[in-house]
Amino acid sequence: MVKICCLGAGYVGGPTMAVIASKCPKIEVVVVDISVSRIAAWNSDQLPIYEPGLEDVVKSCRGKNLFFSTNIEKHISDSDIIFVSVNTPTKTRGLGAGKAADLTYWESAARMIADVSKTDKIVVEKSTVPVKTAEAIEKILTYNRKGIKFHILSNPEFLAEGTAVQDLLKPDRVLIGGRETLEGRRAVQTLKEVYAHWVPEDQIITTNLWSAELSKLAANAFLAQRISSMNAISALCEATGANILEVAHAVGKDSRIGPKFLNSSVGFGGSCFQKDILNLIYICECNGLFEVANYWKQVIKINDYQKSRFVNRVVSSMFNTVCGKKIAVLGFAFKKDTGDTQETPAIDVCNGLLRDKANISIYDPQVTEDQIRRELSMIKSDWGYQGSLQPKSPTSVKQVNVVWDAYEATKSAHGICIVTEWDEFKKLDFERIYTDMQKPAFVFDGRNILDLEKLRKIGFIVYSIGKPLDPWVKNMPTMV
Ligand code: NAI
């Protein structure tokens, strides 16, 4: 039986390998990482990432056929299939800064594989990479090989954070791209047999390398575009009195469109959508396809617009100033059921409110104070969308309070912003919250999860993305 090693014990490497190990008890799976603390966490009771169901899967096979280790060289050398699931962030400096994928981690992983391998290997691109990365990796491996054969496959991961385990157990499809040679096809077959332990064969798609690489970027661009499309329509709903939920329902009934992923919100976040679209834009520009690049740029522009539109609504509704007012921010993770805060819209919402000198009180059930403060201490640099590590002024840090209870966050507040759609926010006692707030009391629902009629009856002035506006909100002139 094959032995598997995975480089990178992150949001993708950890859950993916845990599911492979649980479904293939005869295959030994070792996940390695350069981060000692991450590996220690995977070996402990407190896993480094929060995903529903993940703990049970890990516990069922850890120490049996699933191992987490920092001994990267040994496990690369021992395995037949090496997944590379290292991070591929946007470049922050130099050529392509703010757009191109930074392949530093990938290249060093490839060099390490070339250095320590003593037998033939199948190297699987699990990270999301620019089209033609496999070719570059192949070059690094073949220039450094010592008579060893490396077969490169592209096997992009389509899991979504928050539902990673379910997505891995029942994937819509598994995509494997390989060279169209006899040996390439054999390598594809070997990987296919691993997934075939639990994924029906007709859901395992095989393509050439470049199609697989591009499909992942295209899929993320389509998903993000769907959100930006709904968000663009949400602005029009507010202007016309239409209701985004009714529009989404009617639009989604068209079987060509489908009902999923049509929620309008304060904007998309997460480590992937923006990074992958920027990467797609860069590839288009490098190929002289400027019109195509501009088309995809608009998806990110609408996302930024939606975040600033939300902040503008908050400020303008509250007499055009939030200076010195307490605003409760409920939710900081980029979506529910994850503790991930990379590119979360909460960062822009909080920064927008801080610029207007609000005092913000943040509560998220899964995000620590340290993490929130780290995210808010980054300043966006001029050239693009990626944060740079310049510390902010101490004053703005003082305006931020992080608490461990929604009632504490909302106590004496002037307004509440719902930024993440955590289920527990739907069940809050808003009568109690209203009693403890300053009046008039405002709720700004950036996720459309609350019962507005109930809130209005209690006495709140409410704003919910894309829903017909309260007269109060409508009468406050705003820049949208
Ligand atoms: P992550 O940042 O959570 O994990 C990457 C891990 O790789 C880190 O723990 C890092 O220490 C480790 N690493 C870096 N260089 C290494 C090396 N040379 N050897 C061993 N370990 C090394 O990243 P995440 O979220 O798991 O993403 C990985 C890739 O998967 C990215 O390309 C991402 O775009 C893609 N992806 C991410 C998804 C997500 O929801 N997070 C979904 C689908 C794809």
pLDDT tens, residue by residue, 135-182: 889 899 988 777 899 999 999 999 999 999 999 999 999 999 999 999
What is the CB < 6 Å shell around ligand 1? Answer: 7-13, 32-35, 38, 72, 85-88, 105, 108-109, 127-128, 157, 159, 161, 271-272
User: What pLDDT is stored for residue 387 in this prediction?
Assistant: 40
Retrieve residue 300's tokens.
Answer: 């990110």
Q: How far is residue 115 from each of residues 6, 146, 147, 200, 318, measured CA to CA in Å?
A: 16, 9, 12, 36, 61
**Cα 272 to middle of ligand 1, angstroms:** 11
d(CA 461, CA 445): 11
Q: What is the pTM of this model?
A: 0.93
Give one DSSP letter per residue of 49-81, joined into a string: S--TTHHHHHHHHBTTTEEEES-HHHHHHH-SE
Q: How many CB atoms lie within 10 A of CB 254?
A: 9
Which uninterrupted H or E stretch holds 42?
A: helix 36-42
- For residue range 350-372, what is the model confidence (pLDDT) as tens digits? 999 999 999 999 999 999 999 99
User: What pLDDT is stored for residue 381 in this prediction?
Assistant: 45
d(CA 480, CA 466): 12
Ligand 1 atom with the shortest distance to the CA of 32: 20
* Smallest CA separation from ligand 1 atom 2, residue: 87
Is 272 an annotated catalytic residue?
Answer: yes
Of 450, 449, 447, 452, the C-alpha closest to 469 is 452
Q: How far is residue 152 from each of residues 2, 183, 190, 340, 420, measured CA to CA in Å?
A: 16, 10, 12, 30, 39
Retrieve residue 348's tokens.
Answer: 């822009």
- For residue range 314-342, what is the model confidence (pLDDT) as tens digits? 999 999 999 999 999 999 999 999 999 99
* Smallest CA separation from ligand 1 atom 41, residue: 11
Ligand 1 atom with the shortest distance to the CA of 13: 26
Ligand 1 atom with the shortest distance to the CA of 8: 7
- For residue range 103-130, what is the model confidence (pLDDT) as tens digits? 999 999 999 999 999 999 999 999 999 9
Q: Is the pLDDT of residue 383 over 50?
A: no
- Best of 37, 87, 175, 371 for a ligand 1 pocket test (most atoms within 8 Å of beta carbon): 87
Q: How far is residue 55 from each of residues 16, 22, 66, 152, 214, measured CA to CA in Å?
A: 13, 12, 13, 31, 32
- The active-site residue out of 272, 284, 350, 417 is 272
Retrieve residue 371's tokens.
Answer: 């993490």
